[in-house]
Structure formats: structure tokens, C-alpha cells
Amino acid sequence: MKKTLIALSTVLAMSSASALDIGAGYTRNVSNDVNGYGINVGQTWKQFSLTAGATRFDVAGGSHDEVSLIAGYRLLKVMGVSVEGQLGATYVTSDVAKDGLVSVLGLGVSMPVTKTVAVTANVRRNIGIDSMKVHDGTTAGLGLRYSF
């Protein structure tokens, strides 16, 4: 898990000459009543964004980890508050269920606190097919993002 996060962070940092966003947050899987925490690294280009993240959920009988790549499109920006639609994929590894890929559809909100810090919130729906239906569910997240 740590190696994946380091590699992902390095690739994203090297792929861009402009500033990156780094975030950390709390996630609640409301479908399964479990709490998680995670980190993410992202980049924004005008209305488009790309975020890679890793989240760990502690579940009964083991752990449940998710590594995601989410693309976003800003739908609205009013007084600095941005609302964006999100679409992506998450690879799930779990001690208690099958590992695999699920698609993600969501909505995110970002509100600046200072010039470099913002509060973020999102609601996302994981959608698995066939054997990955066990990972279907809704998550709600709240976090902080720091922009370099």
C-alpha cells in the first residue's frame, strides 16, 4: 500500500510542471457503516481535474483498501466555492471480499479557507459489475486540501 502511494505521488508530481494539490480526509461508507481515512494527490486544469487517492477502511475481520483515479469537471463556481461532477475507477483490495475494479460516480464540493487551503466534501457511488457487486455502495467524504 505504501509503495503504491509513493509511486502514485511521484508519477503525478513528475507529470506536471505546475502546482499540485495534496489532501487528506475522512470517509464514511454509508452503505456498510464503516469509517475510513485517506490521502490524495490531484491536479486541476481550468475546469478539469484529476485526482489519485488511497483510502483505508477498517472492517470486521480485516481491512478494505481502495486506490482510485477520479476525473472531475467543474459544473459551478460561486464566490470561490466549486462544485464538480466526478467519474473514475477504484481498485479494491479486501481481506473479507473479492478484490477488483469498480466504477465511481460522484459529486464534490470545494470551499477555500485560505489561499492555499480548502475544505472538501464529496459523495460518491461505487458501482461494481457481476462479482464486484459486493463493493457497491455510497461513500461520503470530508477533508482538507493544500495547494502548492
Of all residues in the chain, the percent with pLDDT exceeding 70 is: 87
Average pLDDT of the chain is: 88
| pLDDT, average across residues 38-59 | 94
pTM of the complete model beyond 0.85: no
What the block records as the C-alpha cell of 138 is: 455510497
Higher local confidence (pLDDT), 136 or 23: 23
Residue 132 has pLDDT above 60, yes or no: yes
pLDDT in tens, 17-28: 457 999 999 999
Distance from CA of residue 133 to its chain's centroid? 19
With contact defined as beta carbons under 8 Å apart, do 32 and 133 qualify?
Answer: no
pLDDT in tens, 64-86: 899 999 999 999 999 999 999 99
| pLDDT, average across residues 118-131 | 91
User: How far is Cα 148 from Cα 139, in angstroms, rounded to an integer?
Assistant: 27
CB atoms within 10 A of CB 100: 17
Q: What does the pLDDT read at residue 39? A: 97
Give the SS3 label for residue 4.
helix
Distance from CA of residue 16 to its chain's centroid? 19
